[in-house]
């Protein structure tokens, strides 16, 4: 057992390599906070830059000193069913985490850690926003054994009896290795994932880099231009208008190349599989991926709280979605007002992102995460027509000043044409948004859909709900509509503009599920 081999019940520190990792980690955080100072030092004159050099040197000394103190004052152990952590430099903290409250354990290995044969470990609970704690350096076998201890739970007696009677134990890696994985990314699929990324963000990154280093670029171009013969200068000046046509193509090509590189680095040799016994509550979804930064993450199936599928028009060309799976986390259930029309969102914290999910893989994943879906015949839910009209009027009134300005500057005819164009475009867009909002439920789960160009679908189990909120102002009450929000500990699913009686029936049904459920919710 891991307890006897590594003796985790005795307080211990991290591996010595953790000090080096801590120095790099804290230096990275300091650089993110001090990048304006570095830019100011770059543009300063040589005699004034020495003060910035002194500041950078002082920051480096403080970084190393802070890393040493953090490493020396950090210890952990597992004892009496709790994960004990002692940390703090000037103010000492003692954190006691019951093992049953551990939501996910993430093992990661960056380039430095791989060189020295160690890895980092992050532990997430429902008691804080984001990761509860981070261990920067453990031996690989030690980290795996610690993760196994932290995610182990006592199975209910009746579930263990059912498992021993009707299911073969599958708690070891050797046994579950014979199961086919849910997903393995080959090179061809990995390239499709890169091509289907959000390239607009990469375009902004490329333009930002060009603007940032334009001074250096112009100096290089001026030096090269001075070496060009006179005849070739004339030819290049004649062809210079082509730069306006070629530059967008170059920027788009750079954006796609960045997407491909980042996808390869992040999802290299990605593998997704299930390991453990559902009856013994040891079944977990495992994910490994990464080239330079190798990651290994697992989430117990019974602790999954919130699942979202999202796709763009590019991903739909390749018939694939990206799935985000989240366990319980504090601050995860965002306010309904922040969630959008058929709102779906989640908090910070650790999450599992799975690209290249086609229809077959989605059905297999649904069967694992929601084994009783659908429990009975599905019922479709759509917002009332009032949702379309109110969106059209609101967006149209927002764009009306453009038509008024056009009429004031160019004349009445141009103003009327601009107004008709704005209201027609807003009406078409509002119709697309309205038709993209719908949901299905079987009386235990809800699957909420939103979007037309960028589509999202959130699925939650009502037995894991934290709250159900029905909101309705006076205007909505007169129109007979209401908003319904399902809150979980890691995200929400919101259905807007439902008929009032339907929203109340759904709220009462969901709350009855919560009250009548006698099993674990996380």
The reported pLDDT for the residue numbered 202 is 65
pLDDT higher for 341 or 142? 142
Structure tokens at 34: 């001090």
Residue 113: pLDDT over 90: no
Q: What is the pLDDT of residues 170-183, one digit of tens each?
A: 333 333 445 688 99
Q: Where in the chain is the domain with CATH 2.30.29?
A: 2-152
Residue 424: pLDDT over 80: yes
Q: What is the pLDDT of residues 268-305, one digit of tens each?
A: 999 999 988 777 777 889 999 998 888 888 888 888 88
Cα(59)–Cα(41) distance, integer angstroms: 14
The reported pLDDT for the residue numbered 490 is 83
Cα(482)–Cα(342) distance, integer angstroms: 12
Band (206; pLDDT cuts 50, 70, 90): low
Strand runs labelled E in 36-177? 75-79, 82-87, 93-98, 102-109, 118-125, 133-139
Q: How far is CA 427 from the centre of its chain?
A: 32
The reported pLDDT for the residue numbered 207 is 65
Q: 217 vs 59, 220, 224, 256, CA distance in Å?
A: 30, 5, 11, 22
The reported pLDDT for the residue numbered 179 is 66
Cα(287)–Cα(183) distance, integer angstroms: 9
Which residue, among 258, 264, 243, has the nearest Cα to 200 in the 3D structure? 258
Q: What percent of the chain has pLDDT over 90?
A: 30
The reported pLDDT for the residue numbered 169 is 39
2-152 belongs to which CATH class?
mainly beta
Residue 438: pLDDT over 90: yes
Q: What is the pLDDT of residues 492-507, one digit of tens each?
A: 999 999 999 999 999 9
User: Stretch 187-194: mean pLDDT, rounded?
Assistant: 90
Residues constituting the chain: 522
With 0-12 CB in 10 A as exposed, 13-18 as middle and 19+ as buried, what is 427?
middle
The reported pLDDT for the residue numbered 336 is 38
Band (158; pLDDT cuts 50, 70, 90): very low
Structure tokens at 228: 């060009």
> What pTM, to 2 d.p., does this model score?
0.79
Which residue, among 345, 267, 352, 344, has the nearest Cα to 303 in the 3D structure? 352
- 489, HSE (Cβ side, Cα atoms, 13 Å): 19
Q: What percent of the chain has pLDDT over 70?
A: 78
The reported pLDDT for the residue numbered 97 is 84
- Evaluate whether 77 touches 8 at the Cβ level (below 8 Å): yes
The reported pLDDT for the residue numbered 402 is 87
The reported pLDDT for the residue numbered 217 is 61
- The angle formed by the CA atoms of residues 409, 411 and 413, to the nearest 5 degrees, is 135
Band (227; pLDDT cuts 50, 70, 90): confident
Q: How far is CA 373 from the centre of its chain?
A: 24
The reported pLDDT for the residue numbered 2 is 42
Which residue blocks in 98-213 are alpha helix, DSSP H? 111-115, 140-151, 157-166, 173-176, 187-195, 199-212
The reported pLDDT for the residue numbered 215 is 57
Q: 212 vs 202, 216, 256, 419, 505, CA distance in Å?
A: 15, 9, 20, 39, 56
Question: How does the average pLDDT of the chain come out, rounded?
Answer: 80
Structure tokens at 89: 């430099």
- Evaluate whether 126 touches 305 at the Cβ level (below 8 Å): no
Q: What is the pLDDT of residues 233-259, one digit of tens each?
A: 777 777 777 766 777 777 778 788 888
Band (350; pLDDT cuts 50, 70, 90): low
Q: Identify the bridge partners of residue 448 per DSSP, sorted by sequence position.
A: 439, 458
Peptide bond into 146 cis (omega under 30): no
Q: What is the pLDDT of residues 6-41, one digit of tens each?
A: 778 888 888 888 888 888 877 777 776 666 666 655
- The angle formed by the CA atoms of residues 303, 307 and 312, to the nearest 5 degrees, is 160
Give the other-Cβ count within 10 Å of 308's Cβ. Answer: 23
The reported pLDDT for the residue numbered 333 is 47
Q: What is the pLDDT of residues 463-484, one digit of tens each?
A: 989 889 999 999 999 999 999 9
Which region, left, alpha or beta, applies to residue 221 given φ > 0 means left and ψ of -120 to 50 means alpha? alpha
User: Stretch 417-425: mean pLDDT, rounded?
Assistant: 93
């Amino acid at each position: 057992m891991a307890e006897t081999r590594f003796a985790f019940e005795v307080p211990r520190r991290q591996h010595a390599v953790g000090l080096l990792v801590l120095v790099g980690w804290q230096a990275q955080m300091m650089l993110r906070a001090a990048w304006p100072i570095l830019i100011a030092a770059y543009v300063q004159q040589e005699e004034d830059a020495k003060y910035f050099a002194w500041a950078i040197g002082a920051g480096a000394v403080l970084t190393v000193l802070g890393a040493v103190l953090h490493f020396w004052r950090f210890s952990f152990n597992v004892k009496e069913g709790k994960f004990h952590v002692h940390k703090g430099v000037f103010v000492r903290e003692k954190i006691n985490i019951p093992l049953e409250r551990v939501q996910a354990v993430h093992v990661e290995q960056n380039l430095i850690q791989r060189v020295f044969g160690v890895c980092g470990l992050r532990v997430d609970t429902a008691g804080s926003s984001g990761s509860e704690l981070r261990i920067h350096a453990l031996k690989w076998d030690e980290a795996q054994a610690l993760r196994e201890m932290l995610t182990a739970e006592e199975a209910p007696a009746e579930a263990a009896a059912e498992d021993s009677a009707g299911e073969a134990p599958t708690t070891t890696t050797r046994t579950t290795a014979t199961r086919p994985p849910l997903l393995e990314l080959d090179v061809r699929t990995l390239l499709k994932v890169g091509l289907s990324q959000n390239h607009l963000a990469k375009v902004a990154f490329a333009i930002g880099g060009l603007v940032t280093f334009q001074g250096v670029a112009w100096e290089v171009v001026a030096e090269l231009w001075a070496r060009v013969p006179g005849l070739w200068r004339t030819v290049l000046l004649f062809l210079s208008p082509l730069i306006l046509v070629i530059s967008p193509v170059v920027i788009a090509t750079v954006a796609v190349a960045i997407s491909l590189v980042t996808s390869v680095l992040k999802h290299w040799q990605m593998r997704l599989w299930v390991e453990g016994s559902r009856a013994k509550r040891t079944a977990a979804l495992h994910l490994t991926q990464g080239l330079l930064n190798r990651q290994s993450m697992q989430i117990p199936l019974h602790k999954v709280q919130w699942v979202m599928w999202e796709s763009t028009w590019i991903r739909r060309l390749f018939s694939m979605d990206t799935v985000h799976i989240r366990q319980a986390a504090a601050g995860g259930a965002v306010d309904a007002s922040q969630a959008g029309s058929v709102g779906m969102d989640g908090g910070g914290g650790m999450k599992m992102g799975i690209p290249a999910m086609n229809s077959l893989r989605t059905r297999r994943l649904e069967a694992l995460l929601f084994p009783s879906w659908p429990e009975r015949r599905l019922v479709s839910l759509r917002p009332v027509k009032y949702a379309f009209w109110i969106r059209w009027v609101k967006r149209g009134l927002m764009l009306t000043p453009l038509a008024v300005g056009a009429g004031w500057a160019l004349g009445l005819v141009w103003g009327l044409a601009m107004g008709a164009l704005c209201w027609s475009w807003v009406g078409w867009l509002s119709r697309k948004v309205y038709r993209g909002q719908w949901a299905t439920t079987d009386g235990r789960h809800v699957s909420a859909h939103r979007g037309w160009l960028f589509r999202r679908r959130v699925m939650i189990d009502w037995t894991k709900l934290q709250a159900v909120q029905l909101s309705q102002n006076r205007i909505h009450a007169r129109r007979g509509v209401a908003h319904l929000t399902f809150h979980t500990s890691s995200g929400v699913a919101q259905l807007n503009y439902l008929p009032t009686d339907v929203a109340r029936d759904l709220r009462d049904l969901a709350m009855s599920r919560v009250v009548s459920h006698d099993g674990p919710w996380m």
